Amino acid sequence: MKPVRILLPVAVLFLLLALPLLRADGFGTSSGWGERVEARVLDSYDRPIPGALVNVSWYITSARPGVTKTVPTNEFGRAYFQIDSYEYIVDKVNYTFLVSASYDGLTQSKVYDHRVGTGPRTVWLPVYRVDFETTDQAGKPLSMALSADRMVNTTSDSDGWAQMLLGRGKHTLYARYGANEQSSVIDVQNDTSIPLSLRLYNLRVRVLDDSGNPLSAQLNVGPSIYSTDSAGYVRLFNLTSSPLPVLAYYGSFKKEASVNLELFNQTIIVFDSHPPQIDNPQGVYNGSMLRVQAAVTDPGDYGSGLSERQASISLQYTLPGETKPKTIPMYAIGYNLFEAAIPLTGGSGDVRYTIIASDADGNTAQSSDVFNLAIDKPAPEPSSSLTPSAPRSDLVAQYGWLVGLFLLVVIGGGYWYYVSRRAPSGRMGGSSEYHYQGADEPKKKSGFQVPIKFNRERPPKADV
């Protein structure tokens, strides 16, 4: 009997403790409820919205709220949930629940009562239907991936048609075709249709060295990688972005190019592998400074040049008695002719200098020399083809001989006119004091004859 006396109170206590749990699990249905919620999401025109995100929240008990997982609506704009509520005291039972839906950044919620109605629990979102027609510049349909604000995504079909549900206001629309993407801003105020015409470009890229020889290189255009053919070409089709960034790799070298596809359909990328050429370096010493000149060129038909990006020409020198070199820039003083002036402070000895030339691709050449100063007898400036002649008028240089000839004709003609005006003429009654030398009577001769003036009386003839 003792075990029975002990177990009976324990059993009664267990039943008292388990009673609330039994009531909560449905044994006491007067203080609880459950519902399979059919949530429906519609737009402003009562059309279903597929892909809307929906959840339901409610109070499981007055002290413990509950919320379902968020799930997307199906093609009919519907989603389904099972919720249950229970309470120890009937008066505290909460029969309401909240259905929330969001789409394209818009969120709406609506409160429903379990005791009212059994139909779909509907939430309306202020969104509108936007139809897209995607084509190229010639009107040919294109299948593109479309994204509004990176939230609503779809793809146009083979006929170029696509549809989105978007909220009222402005949206950034991204259209991707192949590896290229374009973006634009659209304004949605109602149901609308938007044509999207994507301009496509073709491009031919050739990769050469500075001598014009084709190179086997790799081109990166967006996420795509291409290799040049045996002639150094890569042909690209249906490109959409302009300007188009192109990265070219050849060995350990890299070149970047930006092509305006609206203006050009081909481009050449050159890898310059040869340094500049330094010719005829020489120094001209005048006692106060040493002028160093040199002809600098960038060889090759496609050389990168000496005037852009990394290109520079400088002179590094060390004066007599100094150990730390100084660097000064060299300036162009003629076609491919550069010069820098080294200031001298007196003394004698060797001036050591190095000409450093780099082209636009960073290839560098150097040429070094030593100039021995002669302070007492500065060397005269040498005549060199490198030294540009003094500027003169192109007109005088080209037509100087013609001007000299003209002056010669003018002077000669003037002298002829002056002498002919003083010559005697029988037809005009010349004076008797003019005679022709060595003749008793004037003789008719062709050409011009110089008159000689004698005295009025002839001298007596000498006896023979």
pLDDT tens figures, 113-170: 988 887 899 999 999 999 999 998 889 999 999 999 998 899 999 999 999 989 889 9
Rounded average pLDDT over 53-78: 91
Per CATH, the architecture of 201-271 is what?
Answer: Sandwich (2.60)
Check residue 216 and give its pLDDT.
95
CA distances from 428 to 419, 451, 453, 456 (A): 16, 15, 18, 20
127-198 and 277-373 agree in CATH topology: yes
Q: What is the largest CA-CA distance in the chain?
A: 212
Structure confidence at residue 3 (pLDDT): 54
CATH class of 24-124: mainly beta
pLDDT at 88: 72
Domain 277-373 adopts which CATH fold? Immunoglobulin-like (2.60.40)
Q: Give all strands (DSSP E) within 321-414, no chain letters.
A: 326-329, 331-334, 337-343, 349-358, 364-373
Q: What is the pLDDT of residue 438?
A: 42
Q: Which residue has the higher pLDDT, 431 or 281?
A: 281
Q: Helix count (H) and strand count (E) of the chain?
A: 2, 32
For the segment 349-401, what is each residue's pLDDT rounded down to a tens digit? 889 999 999 998 889 999 999 988 864 345 555 544 444 444 444 555 566 67
Element (H, E) at 413: helix 394-422
Residue 17 pLDDT grade (very low, low, confident, very high; cuts 50, 70, 90): low
Task: Give the list of residues 6+ apart from residue 247 with CB closer than 8 angstroms, or none.
Answer: 219, 220, 221, 254, 255, 256
CA nearest to 316, candidates 305, 326, 302: 326
DSSP H or E stretch at residue 7: helix 2-22
pLDDT given at position 354: 95
Q: What is the pTM of this model?
A: 0.46
The structural domains of the chain, with segments of one domain joined by +, span 24-124, 127-198, 201-271, 277-373, 397-453
Q: Which CATH number fits domain 127-198: 3.30.450.20, 3.40.50.360, 2.60.40.1120, 3.40.50.80?
A: 2.60.40.1120
Query: What is the structure's pLDDT at 385?
Result: 47
Contact by Cβ (8 Å): 251, 232:
no
122 CB burial (10 A radius; 0-12, 13-18, 19+): middle
Residue with the bigger pLDDT between 262 and 330: it is 330
- The pLDDT value recorded for residue 439 is 42
- Please state the rounded mean pLDDT for residues 69-92: 88
CA torsion 376→379→381→386, rounded to 10°? -140
Mean pLDDT, the chain, rounded, equals 80
3-state secondary structure of 260: coil
